Chains A and B, each alone.
Chain A
Amino acid sequence: MNCTQARRLFGACWDDETTQVERELLESHFASCPRCRAAYDEFSRALELAASLPRVEPAPDLVERLLSRVRRLGPAPDHLPALRPVWLPVAAAAAVLVIVGILLAPWFGLRPAPPSGPSQLARQPVAQPVRVPTAAPQPAVAGAPAPRPGAGTEFVGIPDSLFDHSEDMEFILDPVTLHRGRASVARASLKQPGIQGEQAVITF
């Protein structure tokens, strides 16, 4: 038996799991190899020290504390409780659907129902109705509808969509430039030729 083989048997020898033949071979090796003998002595001494550590005693009131704690737990369930509440994924999916619906609603032409009463936003003077001075009712283009009689000056409500063709009027939007949050309209805009109607100035 060489030193490597001998050292492989240290653990089995300590556990008393070596065969009689292995033990005799080991003893004969120790007799001829003081280094392996010393190594085994250190090995066994280290394990003796670990095994001889004093037992840690439990606190005297551990049982009482434990019993008072488990009494508060109540009866055991018949099976393991679910890790998560069942309603959680359902609620999450519903929330996602609502958010997606809100985001996609404008693309499908849906608008929210008008509020029944004056809301806070409605009271804010964000957008005023535009006073549009109408010119003399001279339809220059054939087929153009005649203006409503008696309408020298009228208020045109701002349509919710700029592409709302329910009104017989075309809007030409001047470029709007914003300066520190206040709206101003570029006055240099020109009427485009061939377009009938009046310019509407929309402030935001």
Chain B
Amino acid sequence: MSPDRDPSAPAIVSLSDEDLMAQVAEDDERAFTELVRRFQGRVINLVSRVLNDRECADDLAQEVFVRVFVHRRNYRRGSKFSTWLFTIAANLAKNEIRRRVRRRNWFSLDALQEMLKDSVIQLADPTESRESALEREQLQAAVGLAIATVPEKYRLALVLRDIEGLPYEEIALVLNIPGGTVRSRINRARSMLKRKLQPLLRKVVAP
């Protein structure tokens, strides 16, 4: 890597993601660091929500950026960097899900039902005037677990759309599936999520 750069070159922070990636391909360490700073939060959030595992998300996010670095010369200029990055992240998350399924180290629906039941009891308590921090954490844990129990191919589309806010066209590129398939997967994922959270939703009054 070459940390020395031409002083007349534009400041790293003002460069686009794609320009930064072009510099990473030339072994520019500062450009790589800037890219990591820009995207580390989104990558960790994506894999963390897909896997519902904060600890593993850190390692997996690191692996995503290592792949970016290792394959830096395979990045095609002209394609959107974030699409390429999310493709790598989605593929690694898929691999991790499948590895866990093989090892049967995964969430059970019973655990979800139990957590939802507890949350409903807490939230339905009439003496509670507002959500305490504990209740909020429980609610978030229940929602996170509900997302994690959606089947893999629907879950990835759901997280990319409804948590990361990617447009349908970009999700199609990331998952390498047609746009119509993306829409149908997201619709199905949303229906599944609604069904899983239904016991909770019926008790919670929308703000």
Contact = CB atoms under 8 A, between A and B. Distances in A.
A56 B44 contact: yes
A41 B206 contact: yes
B139 A56 contact: no
B74 A80 contact: yes
B130 interface: no
B85 to A, nearest CB: 14
Interface stretch (A23-31, A45-53, A118-126, A142-150): A45-53
B73 A78 contact: yes
A130 B41 CA distance: 87
Interface of B: 1, 25, 27, 29, 32-33, 36-37, 40-41, 44-45, 48-49, 54, 57-58, 61-62, 65-66, 69-74, 139-140, 143-144, 147, 158, 162-163, 183, 186-187, 190, 193-194, 197-198, 201-202, 204, 206
A76 B143 contact: no
B190 A49 contact: no
Interface in A48-63: 48-51, 53-59, 62-63
Interface of A: 10-11, 14, 41-51, 53-59, 62-63, 65-67, 69-71, 73, 75-80
Closest 9 CB pairs of A and B: A56-B48, A46-B194, A58-B40, A70-B69, A42-B201, A56-B45, A49-B143, A58-B44, A46-B197
A45 B198 CA distance: 10
